[in-house]
Amino acid sequence: MNAILLSVLLSAAPLVLLSKTIVVSRDGEVNSLKKAISIAAPGDTLLVKPGIYREGNLLVNKSIVILGEGLPVLDGENKYEILTINANDVTISGLKFIDTGTASITDIAAISVSDAKGIKIIGNTFQDTFFGIHFSNTTQSLIESNQLESDATAEQEIGNGIHLWKCENITINNNVIKGHRDGIYFEFATHCLITNNRSERNLRYGLHFMFSHNDEYRNNFFVDNGAGVSVMYTKGVKMINNTFKHNWGSSSYGLLLKEISDSFVTGNRFLENSIGIYMEGSSRIELTDNLFYRNGYAVKLQASCDGNTFTHNNFSSNTFDIATNGNLVLNTINSNYWDRYEGYDLNKDNIGDIPYRPVSMYSMVVERMPTAVLLWRSFLVFLMDRAEKAIPVLTPENLKDESPSIKPYDLI
């Protein structure tokens, strides 16, 4: 924590030289945050000593720094929003927020920020808060190294861990979010960077974003959520080196791409999900250097998708590699590794001599009749797939990899 406090102070060094520090202590001269905020001038630092502070909703309407020492607790008593910020250049660091109020109409949060810029939320802990961090109409801000955890059992009991609405140029880095409705939620949030976060055991999505263009998601972990990540009605998104693991359920997936275009899905790991990637109405997406391992379906590529390319991906130990619901093929699948490929490489160039068709006849039957999944691993299914390989009838003729790799790619 000392390193975090030092970095915060150094980043605000020009202001620190001209400002004062107000010490807040339960047994000191300034014994409440409300009083400290009221007497502070822009640029001042409030140093909050250990203790439990129950002061209802605190309004921060000036540019100040609030630093906790020894993780002081701000308790919402299951009734209040705790910090409401509507000023620029506010830093909140080293505090523990617990037990906000709840509401079905308003978005009560531990920290709520609106119409601001230059906000830094660094190194805080959030426990059993309705919404953890809620930004609206906010720009050029940082959310970093926070721990957010709740234990709700139903979606209506809890809000999102980190929630952005109509925001721009926000960096969300190195946070851990557990047990919320959505771990991270974006709506109309553009040009944002989301890196090194861990979102797990959330009731709905690890990450959910809509109408949020030109964002980048890199090196995040989405594990054991109701569903991993949902990307909808968006363009210009980069999803790089993320891990989608163990997102299981009858309608669950690692990554949903719905009505998304002109984006990149590169270097990701899809491990043990019901569906690795579900694509619907998606266009011009490049999917390269991804690993699909032990998923129910590696990829569900609906017929409404076009102009997408799959290259240099590894498909291993999936029940179905690719499934689709139509015969029209408007996507390119080339130079991938398939562990079920049975062709030869007579000229030893590490490229299969015959194309590979990743869509099995059985997957087409299951798409039309889901209860047929009960026949998995039966002799009948074996005969169906062998017959389809010899005389393709049901599977899309042009959905094939013309240059399958003999060896898996070395994906880091």
**Under CATH, which architecture does the 2-390 domain have?**
3 Solenoid (2.160)
Please say whether the dihedral angle defined by the alpha carbons of residues 381, 385, 391 and 396, taken in this order, is positive or negative.
Answer: positive
Average pLDDT of the residues in 295-309: 92
Confidence of residue 390 (pLDDT cuts 50, 70, 90): low
The string of pLDDT tens digits covering residues 26-49 is 898 999 999 999 999 999 999 999
In 3D, which of 105, 90, 95, 103 has the Cα closest to residue 127? 95
DSSP SS3 for 275:
strand
- Per-residue pLDDT at 399 exceeds 70: yes
Evaluate if pTM is beyond 0.75. Answer: yes
Mean pLDDT for 200-225 is: 95
| pLDDT value, residue 153 | 79
Q: What is the pLDDT of residues 304-340, one digit of tens each?
A: 999 999 999 999 999 889 988 876 678 999 999 999 8
Question: Which phi and psi (to 5°) does residue 238 adopt?
Answer: -115, 120
Paired tokens of 291: 């690993």
Q: Tell me which H or E stretch contains 259.
A: strand 255-266
The more confidently predicted of residues 204 and 384 is: 204
Quickly list DSSP for 28-75: SSS--HHHHHHH--TT-EEEEPSSEE--SPEEE-S--EEEESS--EEE
- Percent of the chain with pLDDT strictly greater than 90: 72
Q: How confident is the model at residue 156 (pLDDT cuts 50, 70, 90)?
A: confident
Show the tokens assigned to 218.
């890199």
pLDDT value at position 16?
A: 46
Mean pLDDT of the chain: 89
* Cβ-Cβ contacts under 8 Å for 276 (sequence gap 6 or more): 244, 253, 254, 255, 270, 292, 295, 297, 298, 299, 318
Tell me the sheet residues that pair with 65.
Answer: 45, 91
CA 13 to chain centre: 33
Of 262-271, 310-319, 376-385, the least confident: 376-385
User: What's the pLDDT tens digit per position in 339-360?
Assistant: 989 888 888 899 999 998 887 6
Structure tokens at 313: 């991906």
The confidence score (pLDDT) of residue 410 equals: 93
**Token reading at 259:** 């009505």
